[in-house]
Amino acid sequence: MKVWTRDVLREFVRTKLDGFRFIVVSNREPFEHKRVGRRVECSQPASGMASALDPVMRACGGLWIAHGSGDADRQAVDQYDRVAVPPEAPEYTLRRVWLSKDEIEGHYSGLSNQAIWPLCHVAFTRPVFDPAHWRMYRRVNERFAEAVLEEAGNEPTFVFIQDYHFALLPRMLRNARSNLVIAQFWHIPWPNRQVFSSFPWQEEILDGLLGNDLLGFHLPQHCQNFIDTAGALEARVDQAASEVCRGGHSTFVRPFPISIDFDEHSAVAESEAVAAHMRRWREELSLSGKLLGIGIDRLDYTKGIPERLRFLDRFLEMHPGYRGKLVFVQVAVPSRSALPAYREIDKEVDLLAAKINRRWRTPFWKPVILLKRHFPAVEMIALHRLAHFCVVASLHDGMNLVAKEFVASRTDGEGVLILSKFTGASTELKDALQINPFSIEDGADAFDLALNMHPDDRKRRMHKMRETVEENNVYRWAVKFLSALADIEFPEYAGERPAALQVAV
């Protein structure tokens, strides 16, 4: 019998969060309405956070507050800026917050993605610390605090904040209403104390995060780094309990490796829609008789896209017999394209793909096919199933869900995963071919190993990885997170708080 299912989570929430409003807050919205010609289309953005949280919300119901970023988003909402999602069969409510161009530039493009993102990823892109961005970051956190407080009213409410766009929000909420239950999941790594000390507003950000009752990271190492960093503040740190106490309030810091809905993903992988897309891809990409390697990522400098193209180049140099036989398809979904560092990586990937293709192409074949657009999930899954190997070459990545999705797609037990050891996923997926993405030789050797692995070994590895992802799915992640919350004593609630959350599981 399966232990972690959508129903188990639903039941857990029903019993343990009974009487509580459940509000999720994130910057990226789970569904975006966009104009396509004269029609309005609703799609799910390429975001690991949104991929992971959407199945949780479908199980729990509740309200998700996020920035309305689609150009047809306003058309879709009611007078309270709410829309029921998913549109075809609604299971929860999305409340959109509208941000001005200046707010987006300062909060999202500026402080979040030019300061915190590079600061937290050791990928050698220099963070930009601009006081104007910082002011806007604070303002947008305030805007979201207003929205949360409006939605919470005076009801017992659990606010579950997502990611690094809202480091100030927990403290703002706690100051406004001390009896909210507040937790946050930080989807990216947390750097060591010395690296973090370059952040000019480190005290405010740490103080903000210490407004949480529970703060989750993917890995124990990220938790330890956070606790060490918080030691720089006037706070009492209890290493053994993984607890930081400031101003009489405790924040528990815990690792929760995030995941995917393995069963749902595997079921889609076996659907007729995916089979049809496999046929189409085979034809469109002329894959007949060819070996296929794939990569699927947001076009982000942390994901190691140029690196894997260099692996391919070196591999062809070492094994020219594969010329004309191996095709590498890289899906690179445009992301944060307003920022200089993202425009640079985009250009670098284009130039490198063109150079490698010039070097190796034959009249009827080229080694790199670069697809720079967003695809529906079924089309991506079809690519997973056609691939002989999938490459995840992140230079640094909190978890990486693409690796887990590839494994979930391979219900046939085939395919090899080449996985950077600098992803959170590498701590769980020990049967992947783990590589150092900074070493071109290492990557090229992994291509060779993947293509020449004994079928028994290949199947054994995939089988073990599938077992791991099946067991450690996103419902387990959510139940573990909520259980840790249920374990916490909430003195603020004395008397008034529903009994449910006082019971540990």
Considering the complex, what minimum distance in angstroms separates the CB of residue 396 from ligand GDG? 9
Residue 293 pairs in a beta bridge with 328, 389
Which of residues 38 and 373 has its CB atom nearest to ligand GDG in the complex? 373
Q: Which amino acid is at 370?
A: L
Q: Which CB, 187 or 308, lies closer to ligand GDG?
A: 187
In angstroms, give the least distance from the CB of 405 to ligand GDG. Answer: 5
Sites of contact with ligand GDG (CB under 6 A): 44, 46-49, 51-52, 187-188, 258, 296, 298, 331, 333, 374-377, 380, 397-402, 405
Closest CB to ligand GDG among residues 23, 331: 331
- Shortest approach of ligand GDG to residue 30 CB, angstroms? 12
Half-sphere exposure (Cβ direction) of 310: Cα atoms closer than 13 Å: 13
Nearer to ligand GDG, 100 or 271 (CB): 271
Sign of the Cα pseudo-torsion (15, 16, 20, 25, in order): negative
3-state secondary structure of 97: strand
Using CB atoms, what's the residue nearest to ligand GDG? 48
Task: Identify which of residues 46 and 56 has a Cβ nearer to ligand GDG in the complex.
Answer: 46
**Shortest distance, CB of residue 218 to ligand GDG, whole angstroms?**
7
**Nearer to ligand GDG among residue 111 and residue 399 (C-beta):** 399
| 316 vs 401, beta carbon nearer ligand GDG | 401
In angstroms, give the least distance from the CB of 60 to ligand GDG: 17
Say which residues have a Cβ less than 8 Å from residue 14's Cβ, sequence separation at least 6.
Answer: none
Rounded to whole angstroms, how far apart are CA atoms 27 and 112? 10
Token pair belonging to 497: 């708080």
In the complex with ligand GDG, which residue's Cβ is closer, 160 or 322?
A: 160
CB of 51 to ligand GDG, least distance (A): 3
Q: What is the 3-state secondary structure (H, E, C) of 212-267?
A: CCEEEECCHHHHHHHHHHHCCCCCEEECCCCEEEECCEEEEEEECCCCCCHHHHHH
Residue 82 dihedral angles phi and psi, to the nearest 5°: -110, 150
Tokens of 424: 């959170």
CB of 448 vs ligand GDG, minimal distance in Å: 25
Query: What would the two tokens of residue 290 be?
Result: 């060819």
**Least Cβ distance, residue 150 to ligand GDG (angstroms):** 27
Can you tell me the distance from the alpha carbon of 245 to that of 139, in angstroms, rounded to the nearest whole number? 26
SS (H, E, C) 426-452: HHCCCCCEEECCCCHHHHHHHHHHHHH
